[in-house]
Structure 1
Amino acid sequence: MRIISFCANGIEDALERGFFEWIEEQDADIICIQNIGIQEYKLRDPKYFPSEYNAYFFDAAEPNSNGVAIYTRRLPKAIMYGLGFTDFDMEGRYIQADFDELSVGCLLAPSAYPKDAKAQARKGEFFDLYYNHLNKIRNKRREFVICGNWNMVHRNIDVQDPDAAQGLSGFLGEEQQWMERLFHELGYVDAFRMVNRDADEFTWWPDGNQDSNGWRVDYQIVSNRFKPYIEYGVVYKNQQFGDHAPLIMDYDYELPEAEF
């Protein structure tokens, strides 16, 4: 099973840069796209709806902002829109495809500008709620792969210039500590780091220049029991579709067809 996660920061721009032509060559089973930046009904070009995929979108209430999408080759058993966090769900931050024993989520976490205390507090509120949610679903009889832009890094190795990142949202001590708790208290796994420990693997460049100032904020986080299925991972940087790069992960797992 191949899953691709990509934060588009505008799906129209990604299309113009050749993202959907590239997708046709990747043989992905599931594609998770965050920050599509447009309502589904405005997507007129058929390239947004490849014939071999079932496409699902969760728009933000505010036009032309946020929004997530998930494309699946296999028909899912169910689609879940939102996390039950009313205010945040209005912002189009999460969509999930459920198969028999596996759920794949597409997440766009809130961001905050530097020194914006109110926005950072709201981001913290989201992650408090999300931690509780992730703790709760550990007891479900299914596995999870949660793909997306988490808008924070785990360790210093995940930022190209840690000194310059000091004090910035996404690199705060409490955010790194949240990630530590996710992995060590709840037992979730950073799939990419299971197969790649290199220090120069970044997925986001705030200034759009892949030669400098990289951050690794895009993850595929899997439930602990799914760890043995992790097979291969790469950040695709040969072609630039925006200020984020796609994260490609392969799992030794075959999705079943949905039964109704």
Structure 2
Amino acid sequence: MLTVTSVNVNGLRAAAKKGFVEWLAGTDADVVCLQEVRAELAQLPEGVGAPEGWHTVHAPAAAKGRAGVSLYSRQAPERVQIGFGGHGVPGAEEFDTSGRYAEIDLPGVTVASLYLPSGEVGTERQDEKERFMAAFLPYLQGLKERAAADGREVVVCGDWNIAHQEADLKNWKANRKSSGFLPDERAWLTRVLEEAAYVDVVRSLHPDVEGPYSWWSYRGRAFDNDSGWRIDYQMATPGLAGRAVKAWVERAATHGERWSDHAPVTVVYER
């Protein structure tokens, strides 16, 4: 089995003080993908940035204290790539030092950690998100083709910052004009599934449920009321998705036990 977990840690240094270290020590995952790390390796305690028993890849943002993705794997990666420029995709190089994408090759599979920009309607942040999306879709298509030629599968894990369908957020009616649930964003995610032919693995295993949500605002009683969003995905090539046997969100038992505003999303694949 191959167990892959993805989680936005909302600042790894803060998460480490709240329970991430204990969670990592207890997980059965073979690969852990982190987003919004918001720290360089030198800023992380050794047991967090380079814990025993794990091979780690860190891709911090050039802008201090922002974004940042990491991958922790039990096996040493065969190949590491930071960013998604250098493959002939227009606009991709803009994000090479943004701390938003990294991928590793393990035997038979490429695993990526993605932190897609969150956006805000009517601001430069939304423009940045749209530029990222425009570059990332053709990259995903090319990644799948290159992997297939090499006999590999692909899974892109992370915080995609888009709820795809009404079942993916509790209060969808109130958020129809909010970044993260805009028609153009949802249509783009449909293109990831249809044109690029990736599979939303969690939804494929849980087709008829609300959620399962993976992010809850710290405001109000969103967590207690399960008023969340499903924006953290594992998007896999069909061959790998077809080998997924179990998927779940590791939701904390209580608000006080959370170490991030996101919860880990875990999938078990047959090798």
Amino acid of the residue matched to residue 86 of structure 1? E
Structure 2: runs of 5 or more not aligned: 86-91
- Give the alignment partner of residue 102 of structure 2, picking from 75, 95, 103: 95
**Identity score, percent:** 30
CA contact (8 A) 2:211 2:230 kept: no
- Give the alignment partner of residue 264 of structure 2, picking from 236, 242, 246: 246
- Give the alignment partner of residue 210 of structure 1, picking from 223, 237, 254: 223
Amino acid of the residue matched to residue 128 of structure 1? A
Structure 1: runs of 5 or more not aligned: 254-260
Structure 1 pair 155–35 and aligned structure 2 pair: CA distance change class (3 A): same
Alpha-carbon shift at residue 189 of structure 1 (Å): 0.2
SS at match of 1:138: helix
Partner of 1:118: 124
CA contact (8 A) 1:20 1:48 kept: no
Alpha-carbon shift at residue 26 of structure 1 (Å): 1.6
Partner of 2:88: none
Partner of 1:187: 197
CA distance in structure 2 between the aligned counterparts of 1:39 and 1:20, rounded to whole angstroms: 17
Deviation sequence 1:175-230 (CA, Å, 0-9, x none) = 11111111122211001112123204111112354134311110000012222211
Q: Which moved more, 1:66-75 or 1:180-189?
A: 180-189
CA distance in structure 1 between the aligned counterparts of 2:68 and 2:48, rounded to whole angstroms: 18
SS at match of 2:84: coil
Amino acid of the residue matched to residue 110 of structure 1? P
SS at match of 1:135: helix
Q: Which moved more, 1:38-47 or 1:58-67?
A: 38-47
Deviation sequence 1:67-94 (CA, Å, 0-9, x none) = 1110000111011111112221221111
CA distance in structure 1 between the aligned counterparts of 2:43 and 2:125, rounded to whole angstroms: 29
Partner of 1:128: 134
CA distance in structure 2 between the aligned counterparts of 1:36 and 1:92, rounded to whole angstroms: 9
CA contact (8 A) 1:143 1:226 kept: yes
Question: After TM superposition, where is structure 1 displaced by more than 6 Å over at least 4 residues in a row?
Answer: none
CA contact (8 A) 1:230 1:252 kept: yes
1:38 counterpart = 2:39: yes
Structure 1 pair 53–226 and aligned structure 2 pair: CA distance change class (3 A): same
CA distance in structure 2 between the aligned counterparts of 1:130 and 1:150, rounded to whole angstroms: 11
Partner of 1:237: 251
CA distance in structure 2 between the aligned counterparts of 1:129 and 1:48, rounded to whole angstroms: 30
Q: Which moved more, 1:193-202 or 1:55-64?
A: 193-202
CA distance in structure 1 between the aligned counterparts of 2:83 and 2:57, rounded to whole angstroms: 12
CA contact (8 A) 1:194 1:230 kept: no
